[in-house]
Chains A and B, each alone.
Chain A
Amino acid sequence: MAKQRMIVTDDQLLIDMDLLFNAIREANGDWEKVEKEMQQYLEAIQSMVEE
């Protein structure tokens, strides 16, 4: 079975560790940028659910 890569709950983004580190690598190690983007992503998903 293909592994699950991300789960979104009401207030959490549960993401595969490899994907998260790849995203940080992609951002040249700027983890704060990735953290901010993930936070924004969670907020965007939450607002979609509330709509």
Chain B
Amino acid sequence: MAEKTTLPNFVISDADEGVQINEGTRLGFVGAGFQLEGFTDAVKILKKLFDTEIKIVSSGENDWIKQQLDLPEWEQVDAMSQQHIQALADDQELLYAGFMPFADPQDVEYGIKGHMVRPHSVHLANKICFTFGGGEQEYNLGQYLISADWVAQANKKTVKRIMDTQIEFLKKISNTDLKFVCQVGGVLGEKTAQKNKSVMESLGFSIEE
């Protein structure tokens, strides 16, 4: 594994295709992990894998939080997202870096910079991209992002449940089926990335590289 000083600045965010992290390496989870069963297990493994303090951000128009809290307006969702993700950060011992708005890139805390780059109320993605080797390596507006960098060390039932929940939700907000693609690059190395990919494939997910 790479030396601690050379590790990327990992940041957990929503899986939304509109979240662009300009500075920091993104780990995607629906709702940034808020009320997502299995998230605690994933975070524990990610902390062990990266041996670094992981950051977390909230972001604009978070569909998962809107659904979970049954909120009608985006203004409320954005306000609640910030509160709840900050509380989640405390709970999971992550560092809350700030909020990614629909605006120019924002410098928030802990060296993280980013913003929302999709149009309001429009989901453009037609794919889900799983990251296997250490977070997002290349941003793509056509893809939702789900971190699967941790799955080889997790209980398979937990992996299946958290992935099914996220995939089902992303299909629902897209009103369409979504193809699965992946990024295998990153600090974890090719061997670990392939192990993670194999676990996903053994659970029945057919993923293109």
A→B interface (CB under 8 Å): 2-6, 13, 15, 18-20, 22-23, 26-27, 34, 37-38, 41, 44
Contacts and interface: CB of A to CB of B under 8 A. Distances in A.
Nearest to B125: A5
B104 to A, nearest CB: 8
| Residue among B122, B126, B127, B142 having the largest count of chain A Cβ atoms under 10 Å | B122
B127 A19 contact: no
B155 interface: no
B39 to A, nearest CB: 27
Given A23-B119, A37-B119, A38-B119, A6 B126 contact: no
Contacts of A26: 121
A19 B176 contact: no
B5 interface: no
A41 B120 CA distance: 9
A2 B119 contact: no
Contact of A41 (B119, B126, B178): B119
Nearest to A24: B121
A19 B124 contact: yes
B176 A6 contact: no
Nearest to B142: A5
A6 B121 CA distance: 13
B121 A27 contact: yes
B175 interface: yes
B179 interface: yes
Contacts of B123: 5, 19
Nearest to B72: A28
A44 B126 CA distance: 22
Contact of A2 (B117, B120, B127): B127
Contact of A3 (B117, B120, B122, B126): B126
A34 B178 contact: no
| Residue among B117, B119, B123, B125 having the largest count of chain A Cβ atoms under 10 Å | B119
Contacts of A27: 120-121
A19 B179 contact: no
B126 A37 contact: no
Given A3-B176, A18-B175, A23 B122 contact: yes
B175 A23 contact: no
Interface string B96-135: 0000000000000000000001011111111100000000
